[in-house]
């Protein structure tokens, strides 16, 4: 009889230790799930304000994208702004270059002022030499001047559209952040009947969330 008492006590102690470990493991899982729920609550407390995002993008392009935590969009906004700035600067100086040559053509009969001006301020605006530019007819110089002026205005329009687009983009992102997309979303199709027209049949589309 005494031979079976010690193995029986050992078996009971092993079973108790196993149950205790299982309970602790379940408690740890429940505690971990509570932490996850708390993190979602903290995330919901920091909702984005579309008005704030719009104002930031209005005064500082790209700041609204940073506020929306879309950090990868900010370098695109800044790069686009720099591209428009350098394009405008180039075509604006090109327009001033040809406009000044037109003034020299109107005021003076000789080319003594055009050649030194072209040699000093020509910065990739033309492939012609200073002497060749001075010998151009007035109509051709006017066409170069109009071309540079048109490109300058196109850059201004493009920059304005790009500026408004980045404001709209930041505002829309902030609006979409307020939508709570649940995991229980479902879309169902079912046959539908109409009370006033019993012989008519249709399809009912139900959306549950």
| 8 occurs within a structural domain | no
Number of helices (H) and strands (E) in the chain: give both, helices first.
7, 2
Look at residues 148, 150, 116 and name the one whose alpha carbon lies nearest to residue 131: 116
What pLDDT does residue 190 have?
65
| 145 occurs within a structural domain | yes
What pLDDT does residue 123 have?
85
Within a 10 A sphere around the Cβ of 94, how many other Cβ atoms?
Answer: 21
Mean pLDDT for each consecutive 10-residue tract of the chain (209 residues)? 47 47 44 43 64 95 95 96 97 96 87 90 90 92 96 97 96 81 57 64 59
What pLDDT does residue 108 have?
85
Contacts 24+ apart (CB under 8 A), 94-100: 94/125, 94/148, 94/151, 95/145, 95/148, 95/149, 95/152, 97/121, 97/122, 97/123, 97/125, 97/148, 98/125, 98/141, 98/144, 98/145, 98/148, 99/145
Number of domains in the chain: 1
| 117 occurs within a structural domain | yes
| 151 occurs within a structural domain | yes
Cα–Cα distance measured from residue 209 to residue 17, given in angstroms and rounded to the nearest whole number: 44
Provide the domain limits for residue 84.
52-176
* Residue where the block lists tokens 């209005």: 58
Cα–Cα distance measured from residue 136 to residue 145, given in angstroms and rounded to the nearest whole number: 13
| 30 occurs within a structural domain | no
Structure tokens that stand for 161 in this block: 């559209």
| 25 occurs within a structural domain | no
What pLDDT does residue 89 have?
97
């Amino acid at each position: 009889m005494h031979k079976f008492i010690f193995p029986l006590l050992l078996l009971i102690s092993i079973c108790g230790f196993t149950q205790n470990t299982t309970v602790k493991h379940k408690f740890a899982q429940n505690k971990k799930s509570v932490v996850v729920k708390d993190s979602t609550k903290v995330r919901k407390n920091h909702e984005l304000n579309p008005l704030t995002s719009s104002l930031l993008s209005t005064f500082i392009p790209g700041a609204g994208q940073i506020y929306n935590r879309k950090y990868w969009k900010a370098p695109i906004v800044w790069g686009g702004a720099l591209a428009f700035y350098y394009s405008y600067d180039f075509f604006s100086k090109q327009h001033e270059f040809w406009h000044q040559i037109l003034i020299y053509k109107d005021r003076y009969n000789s080319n003594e002022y055009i050649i030194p001006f072209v040699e000093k301020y020509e910065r990739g605006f033309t492939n012609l030499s200073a002497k060749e530019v001075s010998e151009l007819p007035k109509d051709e110089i006017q066409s170069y001047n109009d071309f540079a002026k048109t490109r300058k205005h196109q850059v201004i329009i493009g920059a304005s559209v790009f500026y408004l687009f980045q404001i709209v983009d930041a505002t829309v992102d902030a609006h979409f952040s307020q939508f709570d997309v649940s995991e229980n979303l479902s879309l169902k199709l079912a046959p539908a009947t109409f009370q006033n027209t019993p012989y008519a049949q249709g399809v009912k589309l139900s959306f549950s969330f």
